């Protein structure tokens, strides 16, 4: 669900406003999704949040790989 994705995205330190800017979803809607007030299973909000979630996780993976590479040198 969208609110589960938001929970994971927020672990990366993003605010509702930052999430809204990156996804095109309004901040009030982000707030509603986060509270579970809006059901959006596989809707456009879910797709946008999932794309951001994947982008953030990819960035973390690259940081880990860079740190590992640096440690090996």
Q: Is the pLDDT confidence value at 11 over 80?
A: yes
d(CA 70, CA 73): 5
- pLDDT class for 40, splitting at 50, 70, 90? low
Query: Global pTM?
Result: 0.73
Q: Is the Cβ–Cβ distance between 28 and 38 less than 8 Å?
A: no
Q: Which of 58, 47, 59, 39 is nearest to 23 (CA)?
A: 47
Q: Which helix (H) or strand (E) holds 29?
A: helix 27-35
Q: Which of 34-38, 49-53, 63-67 has the highest mean pLDDT?
A: 49-53
């Amino acid at each position: 669900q969208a609110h589960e994705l938001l929970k994971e995205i927020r672990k990366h330190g993003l605010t509702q406003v930052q999430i809204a800017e990156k996804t095109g979803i309004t901040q009030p809607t982000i707030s509603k999704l986060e509270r579970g007030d809006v059901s959006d299973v596989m809707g456009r909000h879910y797709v946008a949040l999932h794309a951001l979630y994947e982008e953030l996780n990819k960035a973390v993976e690259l940081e880990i790989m860079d740190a590992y590479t640096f440690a090996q040198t």
